[in-house]
Every structure is written in structure tokens, then in C-alpha cells.
Amino acid sequence: MPSSSDDRLRSQSPPSNDDDEAAGIYPAHYADRPWLIPGYGSALKIGKLEFVPASGDGDDVASTNTTSKRSGLEVKNTYLSIVLGKRKEALDAAGERSSSAPPVVGEKDGQAESETQTTSLPSTPPPICPECNLPITSTPRKHETSMAHLCSLPHSLPPHHYNRASIGLRYLEEQGWDANARVGLGARGEGITAPIKVKEKKDRLGVGEARMQTEREHRIRQEMLRYMNN
């Protein structure tokens, strides 16, 4: 009965050519490499690849370049025909029609005559802006947005900040005073322009009680100093 070592050696021995050809495995894979152990698997069914050496002729390179350029142009035309479609065809037809049209005789002469007529006519002065007193050399919209025109306009003030619910403001407006006119009180507008800041009075003392309170505190302070000096 053969030993296990003999079976291992027999399994590692290279297969015969008949078995390889029947299985689709070609001995060319390991014929020139006797030091390699024969492999196994589906990759051995592929034949050996024979590489063709590259040629160093310049004519072949030039021919390949021309073919690549030609193929690129064809790809471009195909892409444009897909994307643009009928629009590209209409543009091409219009370009061919304009290129094939004969030149108009006397076109330059007519242009020269029109130029001479325009130069011979007297130039009218541009209109003057009533706000900035400058000539309007461009369109009215551009002139209104120019810096010179904007600087000459009167300054627009923001609306007043007074409380609209104030009874005093309502009374003054009924008497004819305009808060947005920035004019003081009075007939001539020479009075105050801002209302007096009101201070809340939390006590029940009269109008003159504050003066009497300060006099009382001053008298008490003087008595305390006199007592300390004695």
C-alpha cells in the first residue's frame, strides 16, 4: 500500500499534455518555468498572451495621430448633432447662405454719405438738469443716479422720533406745529425743538417742599457741627 508521501509527490507532479489539452490547460504556462509548481484553477484555461513589440517608425505615429484627430472631430460633430439638433442645422444653413450671398454694390458709399450728412448737421446742445444745473449727456436714469446729481438734491431727514400717542404732541399738531419740519415752537419757530425730559415724582410733597427739605437738612448739619466743636 503506497504511503502518504508518495501520494503527495504524485499530486505535485506536472500533468501530462493530453490531460492538459483535454481540460483546456496549455503546458506553455509552465514549460519555460520548470522551477514553478504547476498551478490550478480557471485561470489556466486562458492561453498564453503573445505581446507584439512596439515599432519605432515615425510614420506609424503620424498615422495614429491623424486617425485620432479625425475620430475626435467625428465625435464632436456627433455630439453637436445630438445636443443642438435642428438648431445647429439652421445655423449652418444661415452661415452658408450669408457666405454665398453676393456683396451689395455701393454699401460703403452709402455709409460714407450718411456719415458726411451726420457730421454736417449742427450738434444740438444737451438739456440742462434743473436740480444740479449740469448737462444731461447720458440717459436720464443714469444722470439721476450720478454722484453730482445726488449731492445737489436736498437732504431728506428721517421722521421724528416722538411718541405718536403723546397727548402733548397731538395738541401741538392740532395747533399747526409740524414735528417733521424741524422747526422750534412759537410763531417764528425759534423755540425748543425737543420736548422737556419729564422726571417722575413719587412723593406727595408740594412744589416748594424740596427747598424746605434742603434748608432743614442744612440746619441739622450745622447744629451737629456746633455740638461736635463744643
Q: Is residue 76 situated within a structural domain? A: yes
- Confidence (pLDDT) at 88: 64
pLDDT band at 114 (very low <50, low <70, confident <90, very high): low
Which of the listed residues 55, 90, 125 is the one where a domain comes to its end? 90
Q: How many domains does the chain have?
A: 2
Q: What is the domain range of residue 76?
A: 64-90
Q: Which of 193, 182, 120 is nearest to 154 (CA)?
A: 182
Average pLDDT over residues 118-132: 75
Q: Is residue 196 situated within a structural domain? A: no
Q: Is residue 134 situated within a structural domain? A: no
Q: Is residue 200 situated within a structural domain? A: no
What percent of the chain has pLDDT above 70? 53
Q: Which residues contact 125 (CB under 8 A, 6 or more apart)?
A: 135
Q: Is residue 124 situated within a structural domain? A: no
Q: How many CB atoms lie within 10 A of CB 184?
A: 13
Instruction: Answer whether residue 23 shows pLDDT above 50.
Output: no
Cα–Cα dist 89/77, whole Å: 11
Q: Is residue 161 situated within a structural domain? A: no
Q: Is residue 24 situated within a structural domain? A: yes
- Confidence (pLDDT) at 218: 86
Q: Which of 158, 167, 215 is nearest to 195 (CA)?
A: 167
pLDDT band at 9 (very low <50, low <70, confident <90, very high): very low
Q: Which residues contact 128 (CB under 8 A, 6 or more apart)?
A: 134, 135, 136
**Which one is predicted more confidently, 219 or 115?**
219
Virtual torsion, Cα 106, 110, 116, 118, nearest 10 deg: -170
Instruction: Answer whether residue 142 shows pLDDT above 70.
Output: yes
Q: Is residue 9 situated within a structural domain? A: yes
**H/E run at residue 185:** none
